Structures are given as C-alpha cells and as structure tokens.
Amino acid sequence: MREAFFSKKVRTILVFCLFCFFTGFSVFLIGSPTIQAVTGNPAVPKGAISVDGIFAPPNIQTKSGGTSGNTGVTVGPSTENNGVPFSEVTLSGQQNAVSIWSDAPYRMDFSKSFHGRAYVNFGTVQADGFAFVMQNDSRKTAALTKALSGNDGQNLGVYGDSGSSAFFGVLVSTPEKKAIQNSVSIEFDLYANISGDNMYDADFPKVPHMAYSFPGDLNKGYVSNGSNGNNWTEYGGGVKAKVHHYSPQLLNGIVGNTIQDNTWYEFRYDFDKTSASFTYYLMNPMTGAKTPVTSIPWSDLSSALKLSENNNKAYWGFTGSNGAANGEVKFVFTQVPVDLDAGLKNDVSSGQASIVDPSGNDNYQASLPAAQYGDPVTMRSHFSVMQGEDSLAVNDWDTVINPTVFDLTKSVTNVQAIIDNKVMQGTVIEQDAVSGQVKVTFPGLKLPPGKAIDLQYTAQTKATGETQKTMLSSSIHTTELGNNTPRTFPSNPVSFWTHAEAPTQLDWDQSTTNPVKEINVDKSELTQGYQGTFLWNDSDNGEKVQFYLKKGNETIQKLPQLTTNGTPTQQTANFTIPNDKITYGENDLKVEAYHLDKDAKEIKEKNSLTLKLNVSGKLILQSAPSALKWTGRLAGDSKGTLTRDAGNTMALNVLDSREKDHEWSVGVTAETQPQTPFHLVWRQANASDQPITDTPIPVMNASSVSANNYVYSEEWKESEGVLLQSKEYLHVGDYSGKILVHWNLYDTETPE
C-alpha cells in the first residue's frame, strides 16, 4: 500500500513541537542492557489520525527578552505520513512557557477505558524537555505554569517555582502554588537541573529520563532540598525544591542509542476501567525495545485530578518551557484517548457492502473486503448532535481521499445529505486531483440536538493501479446557532483496501515461462484429438476464472469454470482439441483466461498461451513379418509347396497419414543362394503361386485394403503368403531363415 496525497488544510496529525533550553547532559546507565546505534522510525509513522478541532489554541507566556517563535498550527510536509495530510502544532521560541490542551468536548473520560498513542521526535538540538499532562486546573484550556522568572526551563511548563519563599522564618509560598493545579504529569526530562537555583533533578540527575509526578501537590510533587528534613524554611528564608520523580526510567540505551536522534519513538498510555489502572511506556517502534510499563495508582491519580468533582473527566495535553536554547520536540498522534466516532463516524462502501478494514491490516489478505479498480466507491460520514447541545448549521463536509486510487479529474457524484429520511442534494465546492481533498456544502442544512445526518458522495476509482490500503479522513465545520460559535468535528480516519486484480498466471510447464509452445505432430497421432495441459495460478480468493481454447475467433473448448483459493500454488488444467478442428500444416491456438466481475461479466486477463501445432503426414511400412518358420518337417512332407508352421501367420501394416495422394504398394523380394535346395513362392488366394526372386511381387496396395485410423493392414494365414517350395524331398530339419525376404514399400500403386 502506498498513499501519496496531501491537503492544504490542517487535517490529520498533530505534531507538538517544544523549543526548550538544553545546555548539556550526562548519560548514566542503571544496569539495563544498552542498544548500540539503534534509532527510532526515521519517518513520521503511518496511520496518523485527524485531530483537527480537538485542541484549543496554544498558550504562550514569554519571559523577559523571550519570543513566541513560530508557535501555531501549520500544514505538515506532504512527503510524510505516506502523503496523508496532517497538521503540525509548533510551540517554539526562547525564554517562554507553552501549553496546549484538549478542548472541553474531548476531555479524557475515566468512567470508561481509553487508549492513547503518540510518536515523539526528540530532535537533535539541546532542550530541557516537555511533559504529557492531565489536569483539572480552574483555568481549563488556559492552564500554564506561572513560574516565569529566571532563564531555566526546569519547570517544563507545568511545575511551579524553583523553591519556597519565607520572610523571617514565616513561609510565604511553596513551589506548587504556581504550578498547574490538580494535575498529573509524565515528564520527558532531557537536561539535569542540579545546581544553583535549579535543583529540580537533584533526586534523579540522570538524563534523559521519564517519570511521573504531581505538580500541583506540595507533599506528593516536591521535596525540600534543605538540610533540615523536609522543612520549607531554613535560616529564616526559603528552600530550593526538588521534584519528586516517581518510577524514573532512563531512555538512552533502553529504547535507542540516544533518543535525541531526530527519529520517532512511540509513547503509549492506557486506562483500563475494570482494574482502574493507568499505565504508560515509551517504545522504539523499529525494534520493540521499551521502558518498563509504569502504573500510576488509581488513588493518587483520581485524587490529584479531583475526578469525583469533575464528572470523571480531565483535560489532557502537553507543556514545555524554554531557557536560552531552542531545541525542538514533536508529537505525532495516531490514537487519542477520546472517542472521535461519537460525533462523526466514517464508512466506505463498494456496491452496498462496507469495505472498511476494521483491523487496520498492514498487508492485504484475500479475505478482506476491498474495492476493485474501475469500481465506483461511496464515501459516507454519519454525524450526530447529542441532546442538550446547541443546534448546528453545517457549513461543509471536508474529506480527503487518495488521488492515486481515485480519478478526481472526474466529478464526484451522488452528493447527498440524508436527515429524517429526506434527501438534500449537495454541491462540491472543492475537488483537488493532486491533494485528494473533496469539500462539499449543503446550503441551509441545520442539525438540531438529538438528530443525525448521513453525508455521502461517490468517487470513481482509476481503471488500474496497485493493491493498496488507503484512507478516508473527514471533518465537519459547523456554526452554533444563536451564538455564531464555529466548531469543527474531527473523525477517526477509516482504512480500506483497493485491490488490483491479481493477474492469472499461465505457463505451459514448470521448466519454462515462454508463453509460446510449438509441437510437431503426425496426423495419425491425432485420431482422438490433441490432449494438452497447462499450469495456472491466481492469488485472488473466491474469484471465478474461466479458460477458453480458441483457434482464431472460434472457440474450440470452454473449460469448466474454476474458483481461486487465494494461494499462489500452480494448478493443472486440461484441454482437448477435437480431431476435426485440427488441419494439416500450422494450427495456431490460444488459451485465454477471464475472471468474472461482481456482475458475472467476463473480464479478459492480459496473460495467454499460444500453441503452434504443426501437423504433417507420413508413409511408412509400420510392420512386416519378422520370422517365417518351417520347422520339424519329416522326410515325407518335405517335397512340394510347404505351408508355414501352425500359428505362423504373417501380416503387413502400412501407415499413410499424408494429406493427399494416397498411392503406395508393398512388394516382396528374396535373396536365394544357388546352393539352396528350395525356393520361396508367393501364394495369394485365387491366384497362381509366383516364385519370389529379386524382382518385386506386388502383395498389397492402397486400393486393395481399407484404412483404419490411417493404418492399412492385411494378414495371411499359414497356407498363404510366403511359402517354401522344393522339387525334391528335403532332409529332416529347420528351413527357417535360409532365404532372406525383403518387404519393400513404394509410393506408387505398383512396385517400380
């Protein structure tokens, strides 16, 4: 499968880029085996999903002299993600703190299980790091650290102050006060802060590492770096803070040689409702090497997020903060922890059947549903608004399909919206044959709460192409009626296969791939016609295959219809050319293969076999008597004309398979020695005996015998044909083979 299409619009993959301060690091290994010269995936992994509309606008706070850089949402390069369009959210600049959060409708819901998957690119430039954060801060999608003094990036945009403050021993503030409240963070720390005012990593200075903590909770999230236990005042003043790192895991040498290699690593997090278990890990998608799976206790997680006070939901997103450096970190979402299908769900059908591959297989299997090249395919989205929400004006339905599969030079058809069993015709306002974008509008379409609409259009696949997995991604842009608030509803892309008909392969035998076979054969060998075989295979499954044997435009034989079984094993097929269809000279025949489409129409395959059957004739003396026997003769019966031994009949067989001029004759001669006391004679019924000499005696010709399958046969009993004749009595003995007999075939009516 290859997908090579993109969009001008923000659509599929969210890449979260944090420019962070990174001034140096040291690598410490803690007993785990190292993996030398191993990197993650060098390309943006395929299978990314659309997150357009999931996230609120990013938050950016700059420190003194800081910049916001190019923070914002941009279109990712079309060379990535197999050409599927995607968006990059870049949070950059120097001396700043940044965050981005899921919008309220897309909060995590801990009342049910969910799964999340992101791919992380840690870049190559020095950076402080970032954090994946869940929170129920009162600022909601505006949550961000308030600790913006100094030029360190140790708070990663989520933690608070570098320490406590006190006045004459009176505690004024503690570090969690400026952190994002009611939060749980999973940090990816790339720089060890272990000196001066920056002591966050003093309890685990080995980097790069991954750990979780509780930024808004003093007791769980921080440890005093003072000398007086865990007191937050010392000598009348404040104390520097260390972050309490839970389950710290080193990354270099575990998932890769060095994670800052500008390749992609997989970050997985999962919540299982039944066991109330939240787990996460980082994995190298190329090797499968991963950190130990870490579990955050439910009691800690639920209390930190105050889930009971927030309907078991929490915002989720990413934070980072920069010092003087501007290293970049990217995130590519392939699975978000919310159900995008709850609002907008896609489907693809060919004919009346859905061809969506629910398992998202990476390799085509014959059992999978698929569209065939040349077929029309219908794209569908089901969109619903829950009770209690505002009515929506549907502005447009924005989709992306694969332009290498679909012929978007042809207008899509059947553009419809169906609501309450009523059909509304739509208008295509954008159709891009390069990017694959198809945008449709339905003027005046409004969707009340509790209602649903079905949107669809039909696109024509190209005539030919390669078997490949492709996707339908879509989003709906709406406006809330009454307050004119724009809303975008993303969806999970659905994958489906477009199948290139596997060609039916034909061979004469396993020793050659030459489709032309030439055979020279005598017409006499074709009395039962010509029986032949050929080999065929077709890797399609359940496809009807029909073979024809043709001579010119005439069908000689229609072979029994066969059904493919999805295996490439060669199978044998037999055919017969009837004798009456075979002529003298060159007979050119073809074996043609056809497959039946879904309408049982025969579609000719490109492969065929050619048989050149060169037919000729011949005239041969096929068989003649090899032994004439006169044995055990007594003196009294050794004079006169002697018959051959009992059972010593004689026969002649002449094969004449020539096309015409069937004239021939057989003559018999003998070589008699002067001292031989007898001679041979030829006796034919109703004729006088003739001495056999060196002058041929005609014994058989084409007009005297009828042919049976080109063979002329005549047989003589013991008292006919060649007989022995003696004028005197002979001595008792065996007289066989004393005179050499010749049988001569002539292509004339009489011997010459």
Residue 387 or 466, more confident:
466
Confidence of residue 86 (pLDDT cuts 50, 70, 90): low
pLDDT given at position 287: 93
pLDDT higher than threshold 50 for residue 697: yes
**Sign of the four-CA dihedral 220, 226, 228, 233:** negative
Give the pLDDT mean for 18-46. Answer: 54
SS3 (DSSP) at 525? helix
Higher pLDDT, 32 or 80: 80
Give the pLDDT score at 208.
94
Which residues face 711 on adjacent strands? 655, 708
Please give the CATH number for the structural domain made up of 505-616: 2.20.130.20
175 phi and psi, to 5 degrees?
-60, -30
Q: Which residue has the higher pLDDT, 6 or 37?
A: 37
**SS (HEC) of 330-396:** EEEEEECCCCHHHCEEEEEEECCEECECCCCCCCCCCCCCEEECCCEEEEEEEEECCCCCCCEEEEE
pLDDT tens-digit map of 89-136 = 666 667 788 899 999 989 999 999 999 999 998 988 877 889 999 999
Q: What confidence tens digit (pLDDT) does each residue in 46-73 have?
A: 777 767 788 888 898 887 777 776 665 6
Instruction: Using alpha carbons, select from 490, 520, 468, 261 the residue that is nearest to residue 398.
Output: 490
DSSP H or E run through 106: none
As a whole number, mean pLDDT of residues 547-575 equals: 94
Q: Which pLDDT belongs to residue 73?
A: 61
CB count within 10 Å of CB 41 equals 17
pLDDT tops 60 at residue 160? yes
Domain map (residue ranges) of the chain: 55-335, 342-499, 505-616, 619-746
Provide DSSP, 482-509. Answer: TTTEEEEEE---EEEEEEPPPPPEEESB
Residue 331, both tokens: 């995130």
| Residue 250: strand, helix, or coil | strand
- For residue 575 the two structure tokens come to 């055919």
Q: Are 567 and 593 in contact (CB under 8 A)?
A: no
What is the amino acid identity at position 362? D
Q: Are 432 and 412 in contact (CB under 8 A)?
A: no
Instruction: Give the model's pLDDT for residue 342.
Output: 66
- Beta bridge partners, 277, equal 272
Whether the domain at 342-499 and the domain at 619-746 fall into the same CATH topology: yes
Contact 155, 201 (CB under 8 A): no
pLDDT of residue 150: 66
pLDDT at residue number 661: 80
pTM: 0.61
The pLDDT score that the predictor gives to residue 88 is 67
For residue 8, pLDDT over 50 is answered with: no
Question: For the segment 364-394, what is each residue's pLDDT rounded down to a tens digit?
Answer: 887 788 998 888 999 999 998 876 677 899 9
% of residues, the chain, pLDDT over 70: 90
Residue 4 has pLDDT above 70, yes or no: no
Give residue 152's pLDDT band: very low, low, confident or very high (50, 70, 90): low
**Does residue 408 register a pLDDT over 90?**
yes
pLDDT score at 3 = 35
pLDDT(642) > 60: yes
Instruction: Between 213 and 465, name the one with better pLDDT.
Output: 213
Fold of 619-746: Immunoglobulin-like (2.60.40)
Residue 499: pLDDT above 80? Answer: yes
- Residue 38 tokens read as 């191993």
- Is the pLDDT reported for residue 33 higher than 70? no
Q: What Cα–Cα distance (Å) separates residue 592 from each residue in 507, 508, 532, 564? A: 12, 13, 14, 16
**If you count DSSP H runs as helices and E runs as strands, how many of each does the chain have, helices first?**
2, 56
Is 235 in a helix, a strand, or coil?
A: coil
Average pLDDT of the chain? 87
Whether 30 shows a pLDDT value over 60: the answer reads: no
Q: Is the pLDDT at 651 greater than 60, yes or no?
A: yes
Q: Judge contact between 152 and 198, C-beta under 8 A.
A: yes
**CA torsion angle 639 645 649 650 (round to 10):** -60
* pLDDT band at residue 359 using 50, 70 and 90 as cut-offs: confident
- Could you give the angle at the alpha carbon of 35 between the alpha carbons of 81 and 262, nearest 5°? 35
* C-alpha–C-alpha distance, residues 36 and 252, integer Å: 10
What kind of architecture, by CATH, is found in domain 55-335? Sandwich (2.60)
The pLDDT value given to residue 19: 37
Runs of H (alpha helix) within 32-153: none
Distance between CA 267 and CA 130 in Å, rounded? Answer: 13
In 3D space, the residue among 612, 593, 509, 578 whose CA is nearest the CA of residue 543 turns out to be 593
**Residues 730, 281: Cα–Cα separation, whole Å:** 115
Q: pLDDT of 423-433, one tens digit each?
A: 999 999 999 99
Residue 487 burial by Cβ neighbours in a 10 Å radius (0-12, 13-18, 19+): middle
pLDDT at residue 324 tops 80:
no
Q: In whole angstroms, what is the distance from residue 737 CA to residue 246 CA?
A: 113
Of 3-12, 480-489, 686-695, give the range with the top mean pLDDT: 686-695
| Position with higher pLDDT, 13 vs 158 | 158
Q: Of 186, 187, 184, 188, whose CA–CA distance to 136 is shortest?
A: 184
239 falls in which pLDDT band (50, 70, 90)? Answer: very high
Greater pLDDT, 555 or 202: 555
Q: What is the mean pLDDT of residues 442-467?
A: 93
Of the candidates 197, 205, 195, 156, the residue with the CA atom closest to the CA atom of residue 178:
156
Q: Which two tokens stand for residue 735?
A: 């007289």
Stretch among 37-41, 444-448, 542-546 having the lowest mean pLDDT: 37-41
Q: What's the confidence (pLDDT) of residue 25? A: 33
Give the CA radius of gyration of the chain.
47
- Widest CA span of the chain, in angstroms? 164
When mean pLDDT is compared across 329-343, 394-408, 554-568, 675-689, the lowest value belongs to 329-343
Amino acid identity of residue 436, one-letter, is: G
Least confident of 21-25, 471-475, 554-558, 703-707: 21-25
Which tops the pLDDT comparison, 232 or 637? 232
Report the CATH fold assignment for 342-499: Immunoglobulin-like (2.60.40)
CA 324 to CA 326: how far, in whole Å? 7
